[in-house]
Structure 1
């Protein structure tokens, strides 16, 4: 498995994704990325997990957000009050696992959502026991 890109995700969302409880990462735009991606805990300097990005749905109506709160974990009173009002695209993920050992990466200037991973980071991810179990 060769993982070349990683998504930056803040707490508490990344922990929910890695636990398998959250399968929709809500964003303000659509995305073309599909397949296995790294998951970076915002501000940590490390790839802490991997997940398979399977698709995108959106923009989602208030009702669709309410109906799928079990997938995105944003309380309805929060998004109905206007917080997360731009975050109406569900980036759909499956198979998320936490790495046995977080892998440091070099954060390139300007990387806010996606990080292109160096080959040595991709190689380290492929060698992680949790990732090997997915193959």
Structure 2
């Protein structure tokens, strides 16, 4: 499978996505992206995992956020009043895995949420043992 885009995610959220406990990445807008994506640990300069983006939902109400805390892992005090208060759209992930070896990429100026991956990075992702195991 060829991965051409990667999502930038901060810790601890990216770790929770890759270990399969967090399946919703909450953002302030919806997303049309579907399919396999790379996962970039914010500030690392590396694609560290992959996931399949299978949908989006939202905006979620306060009750919707509370009812789905097991999917997004954001504590209520943070999504009600903190910096995540506007993050009401769930980007739904599945089949996330950590790569055996992180893949370096060149971070293009202006890339804040998504990074377009060049062919060398896409090829390196396809050749990672974790990706091969996904089929």
Please classify the TM superposition score into its range, dividing by the shorter chain length. over 0.9
C-alpha separation in 2, matches of 1:76 and 1:86: 13
Determine helix, strand or coil for the equivalent of 2:120: helix
Q: Counterpart of 1:81?
A: 81
C-alpha separation in 1, matches of 2:39 and 2:119: 16
- Work out the number of aligned pairs and report it: 135
Determine helix, strand or coil for the equivalent of 2:91: strand
Q: Counterpart of 1:21?
A: 21
TM-score (norm 2): 0.98
Q: Counterpart of 1:30?
A: 30
TM-score (norm 1): 0.98
C-alpha separation in 2, matches of 1:67 and 1:83: 20
C-alpha separation in 2, matches of 1:78 and 1:32: 26
**1:86-113, Cα deviation, whole Å (9 max, x unpaired):** 1000000000000000000010000000
Whether the 8 Å contact between 2:103 and 2:121 is mirrored in structure 1 is: yes
RMSD: 0.7
C-alpha separation in 1, matches of 2:78 and 2:119: 40
Range with bigger deviation, 73-82 or 14-23 = 73-82
Q: Counterpart of 1:133?
A: 133
Where does structure 1 lack aligned partners over 5 or more consecutive residues?
A: none
Whether the 8 Å contact between 2:79 and 2:86 is mirrored in structure 1 is: no
Q: Counterpart of 1:91?
A: 91
Please report how far the alpha carbon of residue 85 of structure 1 lies from its aligned counterpart in structure 2 after TM superposition. 1.3
